[in-house]
């Protein structure tokens, strides 16, 4: 068996994509889903890098095709920005009284407080409630 050098990396990348996609779809906890997003992103970048190496063998340009590498770098920057926004939203969600998951995804994970708060059609009341909940959270910590 003579595997090409890029093959294990490509298989590993494909495996990470699968793991990440599973976590993103099946896990209710927000933090785990963001981690899964990063794992899936890493898998795609690894796969792309490995395939770039294969492109070099076929096309015989240089050691590796540089275009995918430039794209991977841009992709990493995009993924980091997305992760930062997601973490910021998760922190704000938790401060406003949300649980570690989204309401309605899995019973018992989403809601930490009274479930009626979702109704909040009139904005005036909910802002107050959130403020009070903030204080409560603060003292508990």
Partner 1 sequence: MSPVPLVLVLTLPLIGALAAVAVGRHGGRVATAAALATLGAALWLAVRVAAHGTVSVTVGDWTPPLGIRLNADGPAVLFLAVTAVIMAAVVLYARRSITGPKAGVDRGGPMAHTFWALLLLLWGALNVIFVSRDLFNLYVGLELASLAAVALVGIEGRRETLAAALRYLLFALTGSLLFLLGAALLYSAHGTLDLGLLAGQLGRHPSDLLALAAMTAGLAAKTALFPFHVWLPPAHAGAPPAASAVLSALVPKASLYILLRLWFDAAPDGAGTIGPQLLGALGAAAVLHGSLMALRQQRLKLVIAYSTVAQLGYLFLIFPLAAATAAIDPAGADAAWRGTLFQALSHALAKAAMFLCAGLIIEAAGHDRLDRLAGTARALPITLFAFGLAAISLMGLPPSGGFVAKLLLIDAAFERGAAAWALVVLIGGLLAAAYLFRPLAAAWRSPDGDDPDFAPVARRRQALPMALALAALGLGLFSDGPAGLMGGLP
16 binds partner 1 (CB under 8 A): no
| CA 40/CA 34 separation, integer angstroms | 10
100 makes contact with partner 1 (CB under 8 A): no
Q: Is 106 in the site for partner 1 (CB under 8 A)?
A: no
SS3 per residue for 47-81: HHHHHHHHHHHHHCCCCCCHHHHHHHHHHHHHHHH
Q: Is the dihedral of CA 112, 114, 119, 120 positive or negative?
A: negative
d(CA 51, CA 135): 52
CB of 139 to partner 1, least distance (A): 19
Q: Which is nearer to partner 1, 1 or 25 (CB)?
A: 25
Task: Give least dist CB 2 to partner 1, A.
Answer: 21
Q: Which of 73, 80, 120, 136 binds partner 1 (CB under 8 A)?
A: 120
- Between the alpha carbon of residue 102 and those of residues 11, 12, 29, 31, 97, the distances in Å are 33, 31, 8, 11, 11
Could you list the residues that contact partner 1 (CB under 8 A)?
17, 20-21, 24-25, 30, 33, 37, 40-41, 44, 47-48, 51-52, 54-55, 59, 67-68, 71, 74-75, 78, 81-82, 85-86, 89-90, 92-93, 96-98, 102-103, 117-118, 120-124, 126-127, 130
């Amino acid at each position: 068996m003579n595997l090409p050098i890029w093959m294990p990396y490509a298989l590993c990348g494909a495996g990470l994509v699968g793991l990440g996609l599973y976590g993103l779809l099946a896990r209710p906890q927000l933090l785990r889903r963001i981690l899964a997003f990063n794992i899936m992103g890493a898998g795609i970048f690894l796969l792309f890098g490995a395939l770039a190496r294969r492109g070099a063998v076929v096309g015989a340009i240089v050691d590796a095709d540089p275009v995918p590498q430039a794209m991977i770098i841009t992709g990493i920057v995009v993924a980091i920005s997305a992760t930062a926004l997601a973490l910021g939203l998760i922190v704000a969600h938790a401060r406003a009284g949300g649980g570690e998951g989204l309401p309605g995804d899995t019973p018992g994970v989403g809601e930490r407080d009274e479930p009626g708060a979702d109704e909040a059609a009139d904005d005036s009341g909910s802002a107050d409630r959130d403020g009070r909940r903030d204080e409560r959270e603060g003292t508990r910590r």
